[in-house]
Amino acid sequence: MTANVDLNEKMARLQAQADGKDVPPKPAPQPKSDEPTVAWLQAETKKWAKLKGWEDDRGVGDLMMLMVTELAEAYEEYRDWHEPGEVYVKDGKPEGIPVELADVVIRILVFCGKYDIDLQAVILQKMAFNNTREHRHGGKRV
Ligand SMILES: [Mg+2]
């Protein structure tokens, strides 16, 4: 039944696109009950950081710059001709742009865990606000 719903929705979207109508964004897949949530991942990374000795006295600026360095590592993967979705293993370690993006998220989750930020709630709050904004709000080029 779900496959028919997905197919009907896809066909309606394609028809709207062909008719030159605005196509609404595809609805996000609903999480399955056994899939980790952002809140669960945040709790797990907090436990991991403590277990591995990363729960230390580094300050806000250092932790934020570590998020940036992981993003720079993703860019270095791109500079080394790796495709955005490519994950490869080098010396037993997963590498690639997706892996570095995962590192960015892990750094963010650890930060939020340290400072008791409910990231999942804030993401939902910000997405709700973003939905109220006009198309390409701000009128910037990029
Ligand atoms: Mg990394």
Q: What percent of the chain has pLDDT over 90?
A: 74
Domain co-membership, 24 together with 41: no
Find the 64 Cα to ligand 1 centroid distance in Å: 14
Find the 91 Cα to ligand 1 centroid distance in Å: 15
Query: For position 31, what pLDDT does the model report?
Result: 76
53-110 confidence digits (pLDDT tens): 998 899 999 999 999 999 999 999 999 999 999 999 999 999 999 999 999 999 999 9
Within a domain: residue 142?
no
Domain co-membership, 8 together with 76: no
Section 37-61 average pLDDT: 95
Find the 100 Cα to ligand 1 centroid distance in Å: 5
Which residues span the domain enclosing 81? 33-130
Find the 95 Cα to ligand 1 centroid distance in Å: 8
DSSP string, 64-122: HHHHHHHHHHHHHHHHTT--TT--EEETTEEESHHHHHHHHHHHHHHHHHHTT--HHHH
